[in-house]
Structure 1
């Protein structure tokens, strides 16, 4: 089965860029049947940034607070490194906050940044500060606003740290959501824990067939359900501001493999009411019986050639509210922060990539927020009714 919406290692910084081979970086995952071959990166083509990247300003009325949680699932051994003991996850919790409280939140830890750059561009000219100096809009330990807000769980792409969806998390929070952004340990370039240990990607390069990719998606669904267990536990939730969460309004979205994981999550966890896939091949197939009538958004780039069969199969089986929307001129990273870095560093983009990083961010934010505003808040969203002259890059499939 063709899988066109996720190259073998395209979900991390610099890996979706078709550069010439000079001093090349080997991709972290080998190609498998039906998937494009991994691409390489030329170090000489990477220009150091002169100023830090600034994430686009959130568009909603709320200031953004940030807490970071370390969660341990004592009932589940780590699926990739059983000898490590129980499954451990790091989760960034974004919440509506009072303006002017808290302190500036860092984008990522220095060690995680170093591992990300070293994994993708060994010997490169990019200093760690090119990532750690990123300007975010969240404030650590900010004072929370009152009220109850829908919760959205975000899952990043395979090999990508959770920080690739920071901009989306901040924007959703500014619009009145609590957001749980999950790092899936051993599945990305590096996850830093409170003791300072940063664990690398162990599963990278080991997924060679559809069954293995589906297993990854199912494992992520278990991660998400565990996170929900700990956030909604009564009387002792894992998060100090758990009172902000409206337990009856929970959604999930993800990029690439994180988007694919929404299918098993929706099928196995009744608490999750709606799901959105951002350019991820659906390795875990939607069953003939559908997904229980739950709303589903498929948001991806326009492909040059045949459509991803996993998407056409899923579209026919979805049994609730559904939209299939594509962005012309986008590439696999246009739905994340990573294109902002690629553009800043002067790296070439894949053929057909005509959409600026800023425009990719704008469109992704707009359509993801519209989906959850409609499905979790019940607010009518004309943006989701069909094409609009304001967004000529956007196509609705039927």
Structure 2
């Protein structure tokens, strides 16, 4: 109660702007915003003729032909903006309760003119439920460093739409089926717009060089999209998609074999859900075919850690992969934006959607921004020097700080690059190579 009260008091005045661009003292080096101004625009897209998971009655016989519908998707796009660009920096959205409207404040300018140049694409996929702004801090941070970032509102999985069915878990089944399809559809549409005269994305984005970031169910989707075919247990999950609709993503099926897209060159998965429910087995996860960075809390109460995210990391044996662990953090490790002030008001539910019992959310955001910047700059931009920010002693607590008076480091210095002395405490970064 004292913690919540102090957070609420700290959210008054200037803090009541619900800023998403916070930088804590002693934040790691690469967490800072880049040199580029940031613009933001909203796209309303429609993926036609998709499986209508909510249109199937799980208690009835399997229909001869599965129903389809046109699937509406709203996408927020952050991008490098032209010097001197201007625009409103307020974001209007909803809290976790799906009812309370709030304003967020960042640095991205609405409808700003884009910068010159062509930039890699990054897709962001939220959890269940979530929305396209849940990781807005990361979206505009990456855009300031020379990326075009497209964050998806996954219909039937947002705060406003995840309870649209009388059968509550039907929207969960929709999430299982549609996450990979949504991700690839948005990739296709962004790629098309990059070649369209009159589009603000024309010439701005190189969709052939794409990274995919997912949180929780978005991480599930990223793994499936990257080649991790689901298990037979997943297809038969009692609260999954009815009538074996998830078989389209089953390992070994023709539909799943055709799913991975060579334009997606790496994935980052925060707390990916599913291994603790046997959504994959080791053989299915071995199908992931791009380098992967996993980010997790060692006390993840939703996706699991030893039997969840860490097990996924071990079993994606086909690729080089890293696991960043926030010791004692839960499922919210590193991904959600800081808690909005309104979520802490009496009678409003869902503040725990943004908080962690141990770690400060903004600090976790800064750490994630640091490592994801290093990872994407290395994987997508080919900046080999950024690998040194990832080549670390596994436990930051074991690193040795050894500095000369002029600030240079002695040969015995092994503390994490980009971190001030002591400020990597409670973090681990572990690696496994393809074949391990």
Does residue 303 in structure 1 map to residue 295 in structure 2? no
Partner of 2:75: helix, strand, or coil? Answer: strand
Q: 1:136 to 1:351 in 2, by over 3 A?
A: closer
Residue 334 of structure 1 and its aligned partner are, at CA, apart by 3.9
Residue 340 of structure 1 and its aligned partner are, at CA, apart by 3.3
Q: TM-score, normalised by structure 2?
A: 0.67
Partner of 2:380: helix, strand, or coil? Answer: helix
CA RMSD between the two structures: 3.5
Q: TM-score, normalised by structure 1?
A: 0.73
Following the alignment from structure 1 to structure 2, what is the Cα–Cα distance between the partners of residues 338 and 146? 29
Residue 201 of structure 1 and its aligned partner are, at CA, apart by 3.5
Higher relative contact order (CA 8 A, sep 6+): 1
| Counterpart in the other structure of 1:385 | 391
Residue 339 of structure 2 contacts residue 354 of structure 2 at CA under 8 Å; is this kept in 1? no
| Counterpart in the other structure of 1:94 | 78
Does residue 247 in structure 1 map to residue 207 in structure 2? yes
Residue 175 of structure 1 and its aligned partner are, at CA, apart by 1.1
Task: Specify the structure having the higher radius of gyration (Cα).
Answer: 2
| Counterpart in the other structure of 2:217 | 257
Q: 1:46 to 1:269 in 2, by over 3 A?
A: same
Following the alignment from structure 2 to structure 1, what is the Cα–Cα distance between the partners of residues 220 and 53? 18
Following the alignment from structure 1 to structure 2, what is the Cα–Cα distance between the partners of residues 348 and 257? 18
Residue 104 of structure 1 contacts residue 136 of structure 1 at CA under 8 Å; is this kept in 2? no
Partner of 2:122: helix, strand, or coil? Answer: strand
Deviates more, 1:170-179 or 1:76-85: 76-85
Partner of 2:296: helix, strand, or coil? Answer: strand
Partner of 1:261: helix, strand, or coil? Answer: helix
Residue 52 of structure 1 and its aligned partner are, at CA, apart by 2.1
Does residue 219 in structure 1 map to residue 178 in structure 2? yes
The equivalent position to 1:202 in structure 2, one of 142, 147, 164, is 164
Q: 1:238 to 1:155 in 2, by over 3 A?
A: farther
The equivalent position to 1:277 in structure 2, one of 265, 269, 275, is 269
Does residue 315 in structure 1 map to residue 313 in structure 2? yes
- Deviation per CA, 1:250-283, whole angstroms, max 9, x where unpaired? 0101111111211111122322111111112245
Does residue 331 in structure 1 map to residue 330 in structure 2? yes
- Deviation per CA, 1:39-68, whole angstroms, max 9, x where unpaired? xxx9x9995843221122561111111110
Residue 231 of structure 1 contacts residue 238 of structure 1 at CA under 8 Å; is this kept in 2? no
Does residue 291 in structure 1 map to residue 287 in structure 2? yes
Does residue 170 in structure 1 map to residue 140 in structure 2? yes
Following the alignment from structure 2 to structure 1, what is the Cα–Cα distance between the partners of residues 222 and 43? 22
Deviates more, 1:89-98 or 1:75-84: 75-84
Following the alignment from structure 1 to structure 2, what is the Cα–Cα distance between the partners of residues 230 and 245? 12
Following the alignment from structure 1 to structure 2, what is the Cα–Cα distance between the partners of residues 377 and 218? 31
Q: 1:280 to 1:200 in 2, by over 3 A?
A: closer
Residue 139 of structure 1 and its aligned partner are, at CA, apart by 0.4
Partner of 1:324: helix, strand, or coil? Answer: strand
Q: 1:320 to 1:298 in 2, by over 3 A?
A: same
The 5 Å alignment of 1:109-148 reads 109=93, 112-113=94-95, 116-117=96-97, 128=101, 131-132=102-103, 134-148=104-118
Residue 167 of structure 1 and its aligned partner are, at CA, apart by 0.4
Q: 1:355 to 1:185 in 2, by over 3 A?
A: same
| Counterpart in the other structure of 1:53 | 18
User: Unaligned 5+ residue runs, structure 1?
Assistant: 1-18, 20-41, 120-126, 191-198
- Deviation per CA, 1:88-111, whole angstroms, max 9, x where unpaired? 1000011100243231143234xx
Following the alignment from structure 2 to structure 1, what is the Cα–Cα distance between the partners of residues 353 and 180? 31
Residue 226 of structure 1 and its aligned partner are, at CA, apart by 0.8
Following the alignment from structure 1 to structure 2, what is the Cα–Cα distance between the partners of residues 228 and 350? 28
Q: 1:160 to 1:297 in 2, by over 3 A?
A: same
**How many positions carry a matched residue from both structures?**
332
Does residue 357 in structure 1 map to residue 353 in structure 2? no
Q: 1:266 to 1:339 in 2, by over 3 A?
A: same
Residue 231 of structure 1 contacts residue 242 of structure 1 at CA under 8 Å; is this kept in 2? no
Q: 1:93 to 1:266 in 2, by over 3 A?
A: same
Q: 1:288 to 1:62 in 2, by over 3 A?
A: same
Q: 1:153 to 1:159 in 2, by over 3 A?
A: same
